[in-house]
A and B are shown apart, each in its own frame.
Chain A
């Protein structure tokens, strides 16, 4: 797919039921993917999860939990930290924000997707995975309107269908793909 090849950014959001998919995606990412990869997962504060460590052990490329003002760079997987929203600045770096949760979530997928829509336009591929609420659906719509290639996981196979289904109902998803097809896309 030409749009996949040309995209500079791969942006993925997910919540309940998406962990295994994130893990598989991270494993499938090749060293020469040449994209900035940003993952937003709903995570609990004070739950000192070892996600970054676990992912690092199984990834061929560099994994970084986002700190404020980190510079976006290719061939790196950036993970949104717990208890902050992650925003993207036009100058090419991340900004964090501690304001109220959105959809009971901090990080919120909508917040990052909205801000990505302002910056990346058609340079981005965004995927919304399984989840039990509507976070990310509106953000995905904004990305689609901004020209990004937007993808929702097929709700019929998602562990929690609500999140991708909300996106599809809003008309936010240009493609609806199974997990297998998402892995395939990432490997091309």
Chain B
């Protein structure tokens, strides 16, 4: 049998998304096609699977789908990615959050937890961490296990330290970690009042009310229609005047939602909910 090593047709991609939806209940039909095609082709090439074999495994092989899900969704993340974003949160959002007794934060699509802990560090350095509760959610159970551990390789911490340097924060990133050999463990007080849980933005709904929602570099994988649906979910999950932070290259394009959010920082895409 001829094994196709890379590339699937648009028709095959449709067939695959339908199959995944029917068998496993995950709906990728409104994901951006270019990236999804690239991810699926990559899995086929890494595992040396033909399209037929891939479908067969998704349906029949125990545990394969979890692996497929992990590979098809992008889990690359950094602490303090886009340092100017954290600078802006510190300058424009933290003063507002400080006025609350209890601050609830949701990081949607948190992957292995780097963004949750970046926020925790920022809030701790701002002296308001004790009033905060941070939820990190993702559709992958495996990455959430990593997030709960909060252990990162020393090599990664070195690159995160460079990011941290550009944020303008006054502390030092390594103050928040215990470093042993080549691993760095985040301090337990930063893990306090964080909760990592499975949530699928495509199919799950509102689960709490938040003063701040961050969802960075997740929308890039969704088409415009799906982005709008999830903006609606975020809108209804935000407290009055709550903040929404998208990735540095992700803007609210929908006219309807542009009216519902005030732009706080147009470069870093920080928005504030208008009205109730």
Residues on A close to B: CB < 8 A? 46, 66-69, 81, 83-84, 87-90, 95-100, 111, 114-115, 118
Known: A98-B74, A99-B76. A68 touches B219 (CB 8 A): yes
Check B247 against A68 for contact (C-beta < 8 Å): yes
Query: Is B185 interfacial (CB-CB < 8 Å)?
Result: no
Q: A188–B34 Cα gap in the complex (Å)?
A: 32
Check A95 against B83 for contact (C-beta < 8 Å): no
Kindly list the 7 A-B residue pairs having the minimum CB-CB distance in the complex, ordered from nearest. Answer: A87-B34, A95-B32, A96-B220, A99-B74, A68-B220, A67-B249, A98-B217
Check B38 against A68 for contact (C-beta < 8 Å): no
When distances are taken between beta carbons in the complex, the residues of chain B under 8 Å from A67 are: 249-251
Beyond A95-B32, A97-B35, 5 additional contacts (C-beta under 8 Å) are A46-B83, A90-B10, A90-B33, A95-B34, A97-B38
When distances are taken between beta carbons in the complex, the residues of chain A under 8 Å from B140 are: none
When distances are taken between beta carbons in the complex, the residues of chain A under 8 Å from B10 are: 90
Check B38 against A98 for contact (C-beta < 8 Å): no
Check A89 against B74 for contact (C-beta < 8 Å): no
Q: Mostly helix, strand, loop or mixed at chain A's interface?
A: loop
Tell me the minimal C-beta distance from A91 to chain B in angstroms.
8
Q: A88–B34 Cα gap in the complex (Å)?
A: 7
Check B250 against A118 for contact (C-beta < 8 Å): no
- Nearest B residue to A101 via CB reads B76
Known: A66-B249, A68-B249, A97-B74. A46 touches B37 (CB 8 A): no
When distances are taken between beta carbons in the complex, the residues of chain A under 8 Å from B253 are: 69
Query: Is B15 interfacial (CB-CB < 8 Å)?
Result: no
**What sequence of 0s and 1s flags, for each residue 75-96 of chain B, a beta carbon within 8 Å of any chain A beta carbon?**
0110001110000000000000
Q: A111–B74 Cα gap in the complex (Å)?
A: 15
- Nearest B residue to A84 via CB reads B249
When distances are taken between beta carbons in the complex, the residues of chain B under 8 Å from A118 are: 34, 37
Tell me the minimal C-beta distance from A68 to chain B in angstroms.
5
Q: A98–B224 Cα gap in the complex (Å)?
A: 18
Specify which of B38, B162, B163, B249 is in contact with A96 (CB 8 Å cutoff).
B249
Known: A46-B83, A87-B35, A111-B38. A95 touches B162 (CB 8 A): no
